[in-house]
Amino acid sequence: MKKFFKYIILFSALTVSSCDKLIEVTPRQSIDTSTALNSQENINAAITDVYVALKAVEIYGRDLICTAEALGDDSRIINRAGGRYVNQGSNVINNHIGGWSVYYAAINRANLVLRALPKSTFSDAKKAELEGEVKFLRALLYFNLMRTYAFEPKAIIASLDKGGVPLMVDGVDALSEVSYPERAPVADVYAQIYKDLTDAVAKAPTTGGPNKATKAAANALFARVALYNEDWANAVKYATDALAGGLGRFVASNEYVASWRAASHPESIFEVLFQTRQENIGVNESIQSAYTSIGSVSEATALAASRPATLPPASGWGAVVPTTALLALYDSIDVRKGLYQLGLNRSNTITTECTKFLGKSGIVYMDNVPVIRISELYLIRAEAYAKQDKLVEALADVNKIRTRAGIAASTAATSTALLTEIEKQRRLELAFEGHRWFDLKRNKKDVVKSTGNVPYGDARILAPLPTSEILVNKKLVQNAGY
């Protein structure tokens, strides 16, 4: 099962020895798809491989969460991790989120599965479910590529726009099949994401856990994509459908902190599942270590109850920590403040850290990562309602978040005031989950921070395309400023 393939695809998967010559690919680096994907077992294994790609450090293993937070304005960096995150925290040019080759390798796997499915021996009903599942994953991969390397459709700066990302919807399993497309227009990539999610909503399985691409997950992702596309009506529609999908539950105030201590977050509609010790990313690269010096849920609980005179040794770096300004935004009685506590002594520094990720699987440095959860859907819908001047509906949704936090309901009476409140609640509710940087970006806002502001339109808003990709594909155009 595990030997089905290791595909070498375009760009980084096809490396260069010079500006013009590809390194030859040895036979053991690839296998013919007619052999690899000619059975149900191998197709299932190929789909699993797409899920596995989401665990990469460059994606949900760390960077879409921690590096995104370091780039934004809700965190500060303590240099107690050997320089890790310092450049990202200061928004130094060329220090950004990445993962281009990881994304395209996973997209290619998805494409090959989609090519193999029609000829497979699965029943027609099962083929449809698998198609929906894989198209959800491909949509998620393309959406994250776009968030990283391109402008959002309604936030484009024409003078700086170099397009979206190359669209690859056909599988590649041999060098002779490799093409070198240019960057597709932003609108075209979003159209493809919409197409994939439309199919996923129609075909993905209606049952399954949060680690599975289900219809509810497809609706939830569609709501987020529509929000980024300022497609307010569809953001409301798909958020509503996702909330009615029966997956995940809105946790109560008295279980809010405990919900983050569970192996799987009860609000998760889709999450990245880490299962085995072999998937342990470790102290140098894990989300847990980036955020906190505390080693476990039990240790965090004990420290919150009583801080001993002699602290236990630190387990993580705790380099990406909340700013004083962020912490000040929480009301004194806000239950969400319980997720921030003093950490341990690392590099002669003790500071308040975020404890959303604490090896909840019971294994240090390894967490299931919520990608989309119920609270975000209420905030998506609230924002989309407010943008349509449906203030009563918007207020009801944002107040669901406020009252669960234990604070008084908002009485905002204008769309401007309500949108300000929704933005604030997104900061507080989704803090350290990798959203703030992208919220600033999609709303065309400057990043204001003590290490130096990043105005919207600055080159550092977008990640640079890898130089190796541009050397291989002469049609690729680098983002402005790099």
In angstroms, the CA 107 to CA 86 distance is 31
Domain contains 304: no
- Share above pLDDT 70 across residues of the chain, in percent, rounded to a whole number: 93
Give the length of the chain: 482
C-alpha pair distances (Å), 338 with each of 56, 273, 301, 436: 29, 25, 10, 20
- Antiparallel, parallel or unpaired: β 352-354 and 75-77: unpaired
pLDDT band at 11 (very low <50, low <70, confident <90, very high): very low
- Give Dmax over CA atoms of the chain in angstroms: 66
81 within domain boundaries:
no
For the segment 102-123, what is each residue's pLDDT rounded down to a tens digit? 999 999 999 999 999 999 999 9
Q: How many CB atoms lie within 10 A of CB 174?
A: 12
Q: Which residues contact 67 (CB under 8 A, 6 or more apart)?
A: 85, 88, 96, 97
- Helix, strand or coil, per DSSP, at residue 268: strand
Q: Which residues in 416-438 are b (16+ Cβ under 10 Å) and which e?
A: eebbebbbebbbbbbbbbbbbbb
Whole-number average pLDDT of the chain: 92
Alpha helix ranges (H) inside 7-123: 33-36, 40-53, 66-71, 86-89, 100-116
pTM, to two decimals: 0.93
**pLDDT tier for residue 33 given thresholds of 50, 70 and 90:** very low
Angstrom distance (rounded) from CA 51 to CA 222: 18
Domain presence at residue 59: yes
What confidence category does residue 266 fall into, taking pLDDT thresholds of 50, 70 and 90? very high
Q: Is residue 436 part of a domain?
A: no
Residue 205 lies in a domain: no
Tokens of residue 93, six digits? 């040019």
Which structural domain range is residue 137 located in? 1-63+98-182+465-482
Our count of domains for the chain comes to: 1
Distance between CA atoms of 274 and 369, rounded to whole angstroms?
8
Per-residue confidence at 362, pLDDT binned at 50, 70, 90?
confident
The DSSP code sequence of 334-354 is -GGGGGEEE---BTTB--EEE
> Is 153 within a domain?
yes
User: Each residue of 402-452: pLDDT tens digit?
Assistant: 999 999 999 999 999 999 999 999 999 999 999 999 999 999 999 999 999
Distance CA 323, CA 75 (A): 5
C-alpha dihedral sign at 472, 474, 475, 476 = positive
The yes-or-no verdict on residue 21 having pLDDT over 70 is: no
Q: Quick one: pLDDT at residue 192?
A: 98
Q: Examine residue 481 and state whether it is found in any structural domain, yes or no.
A: yes
Quick check: is 110 in a domain?
A: yes
Determine contact, residues 306/366, Cβ cutoff 8 Å. no
Contacts of 82 (CB under 8 A, 6+ apart): 317
- Please give the Cα distance from 480 to 183 (Å, whole number): 14
pLDDT in tens, 450-482: 999 999 999 999 999 999 999 999 999 999 999
